[in-house]
Amino acid sequence: MHRLRFSYGRAAMAAYLFALLFILSTLVPASSRLNLPELTKEQRTAIKLLRETVSQIEENYVSLPNMNKVFGAGLTGIQKSIGKKHLEVIRMDSGRYTLRAGGEEMVVRFGAGGSEGLAAMERAYRFALSKVGSERSSGSDLKVMYDSLGAIFNSLDAFSAFLPPDVYREMQVETTGRYGGLGITITTRDKKITIVSPIEDTPAFEVGLQPGDVIALVNGESTKGWSLSKAVKKMRVPPGTAVRLGITRQAWISPKEFVVVRAVVQIRSVKSRIMAEDIGYVRLTAFHERTSDELGTALRRFRNSGVRAIVLDLRNNPGGLLRQSVRVAERFLPERSMVVFTRGRHRSQTMYFRTHGHGAWFDKPIIVLVNKGSASASEIVAGALKDLDRGLLIGRKTFGKGSVQTIIPLSGGAGTRITTAKYYTPLGVEIHGIGIQPDIEVGPAPKPKKENRAKSSTKSKSPQIPKRIDDPSFGDDDEVLQLAIKTLKKTKSSVVEVLRLTARQIQPHIARHAKGNSHAKVPKAQNRNP
């Protein structure tokens, strides 16, 4: 009986081992049973870049990502780069994918990520290139990896991106204020390529593009289903080359074409003038390396001219450098004031930014103008001044871009722009996806609903172009600016509650004036061919 039980035990053990080996064999990547060629130098460079990039995501991304999803996006990127007719990617259960190419197939399993997922991704890349060979679409093996990494970052969020060497070099230049391109900041909203804001003194601004415009076509090609990186790539043409953009706007029935010529321009981020004798007007168009210094120059001129109050215009400012936003806010705040703080996945990504010393204008009346084109660094400044009761906000709700991106260099001249944290106003208010509500809401009203658009769109008109800051008539038909100036004229107080009460008393008079002025809410159209 004992021997019988033992033989049964041995049989059971053998069956168990056989089953285990069978299961393990299904988990062993098919590539181990395929004869893959040795890596080329270019492929080794690509895989090194993949490892660096994945490491940055796993270590620094604002929240722990689903690496199975991340790697799956990478496979999709490889497929799009090579061509679906040459490479088939089939998603299976439990995070497994089947790749078919060149009459063969391979099963990869990414698991929870880590070294297992990375190794599977490398094998998939090698398999795809080796089996497709010369039949695939044009492009180097390194470009295939670039496309894969672009898809990976697109799967994270709308603001993270892989930066090929040419894009990375250009971004390094842009932060200095020397801008090469069309002059727009874009994002994805509701799966549509959307303009956050055009930057003043750039080609996009000159032709009349506006915040919230949707780029439906690029050179006649539909942008439906495009990633942000693909949109940027399609619009990145040599300087002096024109790009045709099909733009949809809320009040339009069909897209209108704008022709924008790529150029290299030097952005002056601060524009200022003295209005109404002792009221200074200063407009910030972006936050780059020189913004705070440019603002300091304008404020010194104001002080020497006897200016007692300031209008700070952040409308259509898409943002820029975080530390510049802190330095700008610092000029209007008392010593040791909290400007903004950030929180990420790691303790090291929680940072607090405070002022150092009293700002030169910490005790003077200030009104801040914002709209839906005010984003990122603009929202940091506006949020700080609002939370600390240092300024009155007038306009429309801001864009709601409250995440922090860190630029990280990689080997081969490439880089990443990765979301590492979210920022919060001094009172702990999260801005991302929400925006900042102004104290006094005024400005261009929401566009009419669809049923009312047909009538307004039947007439053939040139796209309306906002007035330039250097236009002699600027301000005459700007309801928001006029309310700010009249409020500051009416009171010399820097107390926000007093400013708010005064603005509310004046607002009905401004509104009545606006109704009698045909250009009060809608800037006068200019006959300019896009």
Which positions are annotated as active-site residues? 376, 387, 401
Q: Is 400 helix (H, G, I), strand (E, B) or coil?
A: coil
Geometric angle at alpha carbon 490, from 489 and 492, rounded to 5° = 75
Structure tokens at 125: 């890349």
Angle of helix 141-154 versus helix 228-235 axis, rounded to 10: 130
Nearest to 525 by CA among 210, 306, 66: 210
Cα separations in angstroms, 147 against 101, 443, 452, 520? 18, 42, 43, 47
Q: Tokens in use for 256?
A: 């209108």
Q: Which tokens sit at 485?
A: 């100036």
Which region holds residue 357: left if phi is over 0, alpha if psi is between -120 and 50, else beta? left
The answer to whether the beta carbons of residues 397 and 436 sit under 8 Å apart is yes
The amino acid at 36? L
Among the listed residues 89, 92, 96, the one whose alpha carbon sits nearest the alpha carbon of residue 131: 89
CA 387 – CA 326 distance, rounded (Å): 14
Both tokens of residue 248? 């949809």
Tokens, residue 501: 């009460």
Task: List the beta bridge partners of residue 265.
Answer: 179
| Residue 79 near residue 97, CB atoms below 8 Å | no
- The b/e string for 138-168 (b: 16+ C-beta within 10 A; e otherwise) is eeebbebbbbbbbbbbbbbbbbbbbbbeebb
